[in-house]
Amino acid sequence: METRGRVVVVTGGAGGIGAALCQRFAADGAERVVVSDLNAQAAENVAADIGGLAVVADVTVESDVQRLVATTLKAHGRIDIYCSNAGIAFGGGPEASDQAWQQSWEVHVMSHVYAARALLPAMLARRNGYIVGTVSAAGLLNHVLAAPYAVTKAAGLSFLEWLAIAHHDQGLRVSALCPQGVRTAMLTQEGGSFLRAGALEPEQVADAVVEAIRDERFLVLPHPEVSEYFQRKADDYDRWLRGMRRLRARILEER
């Protein structure tokens, strides 16, 4: 799918990867870019920069997602590309609070579910539509310091896979964005030199997304090495686990 002339919605669009996606879609000639975020002023700022529309929405509230989709459909008649991009980061393991686990689940899984519920009727009726879900390399490879993040990102990836399996033949296209470190506020919050060393700029990630949409590829891997790591995991799971244990030990020693 080409992005020129498309109506695009980006959640988490006020900063980081989301803002870069909005700017890239606008630069590529999208008909309209809808910038959605919890932060009203930041969303307005991005929308003003690109001539887009700002819509405040909490992606963990289904009625907000329905309103976002309905507002865009009323204004433009269709949604061609929906980037379900909002994300949060909580570290720790089983000891992490119930709130951290629940909020991670709501943002990284249910936001995609709510989006699909709202989008699918019109997209399937038109036999045309694209959903891009921002996951993480952690959805493929886990995260040695952050169980709530890794577990829910893996669940989000699985849901996107399901959509691609169930509805491809009805015209729906799906991509899962799985970067490693990206120079955003979330990376600063997460910490850890192992992610910062090869971190990309959000604009580089947006470039990879647009390329994947044009090729209609499911996995979007801005860091090519993630494909190699994923292959190693599939080839020898136990060896991969040993390597991840060594990585975790090294990181903990550096702290």
Question: Residue 67 is part of a domain; what is its CATH number?
Answer: 3.40.50.720
Residue 238, pLDDT score: 98
DSSP 3-state of 15: coil
How many residues in the chain? 255
Reading the block at residue 72, the tokens are 């865009």
**Distances 222 to 95, 144, 197 between C-alpha atoms, Å:** 32, 20, 15
Residue 189, pLDDT score: 55
Residue with tokens 């529309």: 53
Residue 183, pLDDT score: 87
For residue 230, give the nearest of 174, 171, 180, 164 by alpha carbon: 180
Q: What is the pLDDT along the chain (255 residues), one digit of tens a residue?
A: 999 999 999 999 999 999 999 999 999 999 999 999 999 999 999 999 999 999 999 999 999 999 999 999 999 999 999 999 999 999 999 999 999 999 999 999 999 999 999 999 999 999 999 999 999 999 999 999 999 999 999 999 999 999 999 999 999 999 999 999 888 776 555 555 556 667 899 999 999 999 999 999 999 999 999 999 999 999 999 999 999 999 999 999 987
Residue 21, pLDDT score: 98
| Those residues with Cβ within 8 angstroms of residue 238's Cβ, 6 or more apart along the chain or in another chain | none
The rounded distance, in Å, linking the Cα atoms of 254 and 49 is 41
The rounded distance, in Å, linking the Cα atoms of 115 and 254 is 40
**Distances 106 to 80, 138, 252 between C-alpha atoms, Å:** 24, 17, 29
* φ, ψ (nearest 5 deg) of residue 12: 60, 35
Other Cβ atoms within 10 Å of 8 Cβ, number: 29
Q: Do the domain assignments include residue 217?
A: yes
Residue 196, pLDDT score: 61
Q: Do the domain assignments include residue 1?
A: no
Q: Do the domain assignments include residue 149?
A: yes
Q: Do the domain assignments include residue 203?
A: yes
Say how far residue 118 (Cα) sits from the centre of its chain.
17
- Identify the domain containing residue 80 by its residue range: 7-225
* φ, ψ (nearest 5 deg) of residue 201: -80, 150
Q: Do the domain assignments include residue 230?
A: no
DSSP 3-state of 66: helix
Q: Looking at the 3D structure of the chain, how many domains does it have?
A: 1
Active site residues: 149
- Return the ∠ at Cα 242 (arms to 248 and 190), rounded to 5°: 25
Residue 254, pLDDT score: 85
Residue 163, pLDDT score: 98
Q: Do the domain assignments include residue 135?
A: yes
Q: Do the domain assignments include residue 2?
A: no
Residue 123, pLDDT score: 98
Q: Do the domain assignments include residue 233?
A: no
**Would you say the pTM of this structure is higher than 0.85?**
yes
Reading the block at residue 78, the tokens are 């269709």
